[in-house]
A and B are shown apart, each in its own frame.
Chain A
Amino acid sequence: MAEPSICKEPIFESIYFDQAEDLRNFLYYKSGNLKQAEDWVQESFIRLWDNCAKVNLDKARSFLFTVGHNLFLNAVKHDKVVLKFQQQQTHKTSSQETPEYLLEEKEFQAKLQKAISDLSEPQRVVFLMNRIDKKTYKEIAETLGISVKAVEKRMHKALLALRTISKKI
């Protein structure tokens, strides 16, 4: 059975809806720059559209991630990558927390975000794709084009590095 062409608008749109957010997050984890990540997402999809006749539906995701990764490589690198995340609101009654506790918690979160930013890029990307995007090691391996073992190694190193921040408290 012939593959449906992704040059068809409804199909292309569904690819966009399926992949754009993952791609944006992936590029953000690499660069620490959300706006830039969003621009790269658009550029990657433009390239996919321009090549739509040559790319099968099942190869679209890896095409997008490869293009995105290349855009990242070609960009001017800043020395430090700083990632910031929003905190989900946890509904604890404030009477249970002393101001000191809340302050400690805030400091801990800041320390943690810095530690994540300081991870090497391979470790950071794998760690965040697993914890924030909720991707399995297998999915991460497929997306990055590496083995599951390689994903596990990076994850292990990331966890080792993060574990040290608790000791510093």
Chain B
Amino acid sequence: MADDYKDKDTFLARWLNGTLSEEEKNSIKDKDDFEDLQKILSEVDKMELPPMDKQKSFAAFKKAKNNASSPPTKEAKVRRMGILPIAAAAAILLLVGFFMFKPTGDAWVEHNTLAHENKKIELPDGSTIELSHHSMAKWNDSDAWKKNRVVEMEGEAFFEVKKGSSFQVETEQGIVTVLGTSFNIYNYKDRFEVSCYTGKVEVKSTSHIPVILTQGKMTRWSKNGFEIKDFNADSPTDWSENKSQFVAVPLSRVLEEMEIQFEIKFDVTSIDATSLFTGTYLHKNLDTALKMVLEPMNLTGQKNGNIITLSEKD
């Protein structure tokens, strides 16, 4: 039939596939030809290529990708893949807002706190993290973690680190490497502050050269710049005592912290929020806190739902 003729050039393929018509099957005269083919095919079935180590290959791909990338712009940062750092002093990704690439599935442990919540967490090596409100800390709880201790955090947390292998805390605004033992990190919004209570801490971020802090020194990064200041490292962190203390700090900084703490917003258009504030406020109650901050500054506040409009007292 005409059809068979046309399909002659696919005959063997369809024989192999088992899709020959009955007629075609019967037309096979010389079985030997097909026996030879069978032998060849069974030999081919034994052939194989080396299996691909996909994990390894994907890791190599990430490396190649990052080498090929140009320095990230604000747009590019969204698509950049992060590489977990392997040593404190080694080349570290210095990006504002880098992506951490999580291994698929497995042992990541994450802790989060809400408003009015402090939480103390213990790490596998006995180090502790005390999380302030609205904060997060996480790490990969595998056996390998103790050899290269990396924790990611957001918000504010106080770390007490046991002596041992390299200990690093990664935040969106910078990386803190522990050379000593206890320190506080403030990482909300655009402010990034690290205070060293004991030992030594190295702080890296894209906005300044790396800095080493010793006991009683803190760094403060903000949009305006960077400074190292002294602070009283004898007193425990205030927020773990449910109060916040400030010494000659711009009012805007105080208000910002209250905004996060109490989940409110301040309208500061009619006041000078750069004037310096020295004092304390307690966390437990918004009205008390407002009184403790506004009165010394000769200010008053008008509440409107969640928004408090500030103005000068007559």
Contact = CB atoms under 8 A, between A and B. Distances in A.
Given A42-B64, A46-B68, A152-B10, A85 B58 contact: no
Contacts of A28: 49
B12 A159 contact: yes
Contacts of A166: 36-37, 39-40
Interface stretch (A5-13, A59-67, A71-79, A94-102): A5-13
B209 interface: no
Interface in A84-126: 85-88, 90, 108-109, 112-113, 116
Given A20-B52, A42-B64, A155 B12 contact: yes
B292 to A, nearest CB: 46
Contacts of B14: 152
A112 B40 contact: yes
Nearest to A126: B13
Contacts of B91: none
B64 A25 contact: no
A86 B60 CA distance: 25
Given A9-B81, A159-B12, A108 B43 contact: yes
Contact of B46 (A24, A42, A90): A90
A163 B33 contact: yes
B60 A160 contact: no
Contact of A149 (B10, B36, B46, B64): B10
Interface residues of A, number: 48
Interface in A4-59: 7, 9-10, 13, 16-17, 20-21, 24-25, 28, 34, 38, 41-42, 45-46, 49, 52
27 contacts: A7-B79, A13-B58, A17-B54, A20-B54, A20-B57, A21-B51, A21-B52, A24-B52, A34-B49, A45-B65, A46-B61, A49-B65, A86-B47, A86-B50, A87-B47, A88-B46, A88-B47, A112-B43, A116-B44, A132-B49, A155-B10, A156-B10, A156-B11, A156-B13, A162-B40, A163-B37, A165-B40
Contacts of B40: 112, 162-163, 165-166
Given A149-B10, A163-B36, A25 B49 contact: yes
Contacts of B102: 9
Given A34-B49, A152-B13, 7 more contacts: A13-B58, A38-B57, A42-B57, A45-B65, A49-B65, A52-B79, A156-B9
- Determine the main DSSP class of A at the interface with B: helix
Contacts of A80: none
Given A153-B13, A156-B10, A156-B11, A87 B37 contact: no
A151 interface: yes
Contact of A45 (B9, B41, B61, B79): B61
